[in-house]
């Protein structure tokens, strides 16, 4: 898959996931610097990887998810980036985001490598969305072709409602 950032090709580290794959085990960091392991997260989950919450498109994307969660009873949405947990907490407070949990991959890049979202050379995550069912199976995947573009919300929400 060819992915660009501001029109320039980027290279990703790791194998990209596909529908039907088992979602990989991982360890991330929450806003209190506590480890969050994949087995700690249950139910239907959406993982939205973004380069940085402090950018316009990322900010709008996570705000969109924050608003939409009210309609998605039982769905847990996680925004994953390389931002430091302190910056994530500050951003959530300033943006009024309470329904999306931010998690950081800054320590080990474990999540980025295992989901094929780590941008080589930049040590950021590309924009992608994964929907994982209660059994840990990937039900929807989108690696956004241009990092500065939004994911296809309509297609994502249509697939998500099939799981509810």
User: Tokens at residue 105, please?
Assistant: 């991959």
| H, E, C per residue of the chain | CCEEECCEEECEECCCCCCCCECCCCEEECCCCCEEEHHHCCCEEEEEECCCCCCHHHHHHHHHHHHHHHHCCCEEEEEEECCCHHHHHHHHHHHCCCCEEEEECCCCCHHHHHHCCEECCCCEECCEEEEECCCCEEEEEEECCECCCCCCHHHHHHHHHHHC
Clarify whether 92 is annotated catalytic.
Answer: no
Of the candidates 13, 29, 58, 92, the residue annotated as catalytic is: 58
Catalytic residues: 58
């Amino acid at each position: 898959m060819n992915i660009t950032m501001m029109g320039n090709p980027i290279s990703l580290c790791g194998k990209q996931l596909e529908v039907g794959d088992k979602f990989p085990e991982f360890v991330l960091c929450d806003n209190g610097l506590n480890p969050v392991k994949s087995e700690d997260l249950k139910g239907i989950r959406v993982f939205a990887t973004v380069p940085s919450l402090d950018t316009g498109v990322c900010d709008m994307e996570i705000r969109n998810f924050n608003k939409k969660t009210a309609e998605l009873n039982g769905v847990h949405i996680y925004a994953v980036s390389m931002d430091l947990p302190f910056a994530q907490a500050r951003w959530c407070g300033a943006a009024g985001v309470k329904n999306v949990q931010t998690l950081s991959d800054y320590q080990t890049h474990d999540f980025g490598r295992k989901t094929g979202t780590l941008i080589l050379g930049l040590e950021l995550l590309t924009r992608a969305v994964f929907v994982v069912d209660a059994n840990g199976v990937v039900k929807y995947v989108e690696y956004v072709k241009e990092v500065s573009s939004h994911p296809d919300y309509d297609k994502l929400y249509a697939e998500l409602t099939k799981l509810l």
